[in-house]
Structure 1
Amino acid sequence: MTNHYRYIIFYKPYGVLCQFTKDAPTHSTLKDYIDVPDVYPVGRLDWDSEGLLLLTNDGQLQHRLAHPRFGHKRTYWVQVERIPDADAIKRLQTGVEIQDYRTQPAEVRLLPQEPQLPERNPPIRFRKNVPTAWLEMTLTEGKNRQVRRMTAAVGFPTLRLVRVSIAHLQLDDLQLGQWRDLSTSELQFLHNFSKSKSFPPKTNPL
């Protein structure tokens, strides 16, 4: 491990774009929160999603983590409109069709109570007399707006989406809008975990 590399986790608020350049005047960017040069997000969160974001200037690690073969788990707390029944949960677990793609099996459960999270600004839109529920969803893939498309496909639109973990990395006591460097143990685990994932062998062209 080289000392000049930085490995950062950030609790991204709602409405923040996962980029450092400001090309949308109505949205904040990572630059408004993180004053560290030359780090870039590993993967992304949509502007209307919240939660854990990993950033680094270690290009090799970034490439490995972003590669589909890596298949690391990402866990989300998802507030949906109405209360999903057992059939909807089963469909989310086994895979649903989103456009021309069928999602991979996922770990999905209905949370017994609302998780302790900071208030969202602005708040979600509530509809009178329409209940909401929270799901915990753990995926190993990251298609564009996948969680939202999955819950919509089974009839329960996403109202709020918070990523709470990436592999072994957790939000823990990190506050909304705060970032910190990874601990030595977190970084060692991350490197060991990424090295344990093998890439497909290269083949010579005919």
Structure 2
Amino acid sequence: MSDDTRYEGSFFGRRRGKPLRAGRAARIEDDLPRLRVDLEAIPDDLTRLFEAPVSEVRLEIGFGGAEHLLHEAETNPHIGFIGVEPFLSGLAKGLAGVAERGLRNVRLYDDDATQLLDRLPPASLARVDLLYPDPWPKTRHWKRRFVSDQNLGRIARALKPGAPFRFASDIDTYVAWTLEHARRSDAFEWTARRAADWREPWAGWPGTRYEAKAIREGRRGSYLIFRRV
């Protein structure tokens, strides 16, 4: 399968941007086979995916530069994290960070997150994060936004009852889009009770490069939490 293949119905476009430096390319070749989640060998108990003993498992969809994923994994060594990132540059950064920090509670998946969600056991995730995803700003591309009725159903199936789905974006139309889709779903309840609940980053938030870019360009992020009912 070509790295430049575009996937019909997926939330991402090309997998490859600028050519990877030799060290990063080697990291993918050497480390990804060990850390990649094999869709054909997912255990009923997701905690068994990890080298370290973990009490629960969280999923981050589209981890980008891996700032949040690595921070969370390092801060919470007793929790297992699955990070999804099909873009090769971000994937290489995630692999490098796992190696540099010696993390044993991270697994990665380098393809469409919907494929992984469809194979995970029901009610197996303690949290799902979708942070500063590609907004696909042109109206004709909105169907490629990851938040959709179908994908919210996928997330709901994989989440434990009461577990959170967290969404962050600096694009107002995508925030409104997500609220509209989540609030019409029987599976989710928006937890905000006051403006600060969605205007301020969550406790322990380390920031991401995409958030920093938005701030530089004068945009403010929104931080939404939906509870699986």
- Establish whether TM, by shorter chain, passes 0.5: no
**TM-score, with normalisation over the residues of structure 1?**
0.32
Specify which structure has the bigger relative contact order, considering alpha-carbon pairs within 8 angstroms and separated by 6 or more residues: 1
More helix by share: 2
More strand by share: 1
